[in-house]
């Protein structure tokens, strides 16, 4: 997990926690390519910092809640 300072429009800095794809895969018990596929299909939002791709902690929590509700990740559950 990494913390980044993000500059928002009103000039304030906020800290946000981000997880790498590898950390996210370990957390959910899926493979690295699975998380990568979710990012590419926009099933989960991710941010790029340099060459690395990170997933915000809030997005991890949202994905966890979806899993607990029985939603299948990567499918349209609207």
Are the C-beta atoms of residues 6 and 19 closer than 8 Å to each other? no
Q: DSSP character for 11?
A: S
Global confidence as pTM:
0.72
Tell me, what's the pLDDT at 66?
83
- 10-residue mean pLDDT profile of the chain (78 residues): values are 66 82 91 92 89 91 85 62
Q: DSSP letters along 21-72, please?
A: HHHHHHHHT--HHHHHHHHHTTSS--EEETTEEEEEHHHHHHHHHHHHTTPP
């Amino acid at each position: 997990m990494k913390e980044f300072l993000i500059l928002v429009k009103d000039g304030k800095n906020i800290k946000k926690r981000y997880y790498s794809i590898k950390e996210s895969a370990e957390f959910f018990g899926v493979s690295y390519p699975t998380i990568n596929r979710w990012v590419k299909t926009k099933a989960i939002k991710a941010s790029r910092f340099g060459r690395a791709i990170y997933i915000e902690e809030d997005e991890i929590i949202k994905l966890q809640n979806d899993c607990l509700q029985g939603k299948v990740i990567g499918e349209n559950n609207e």
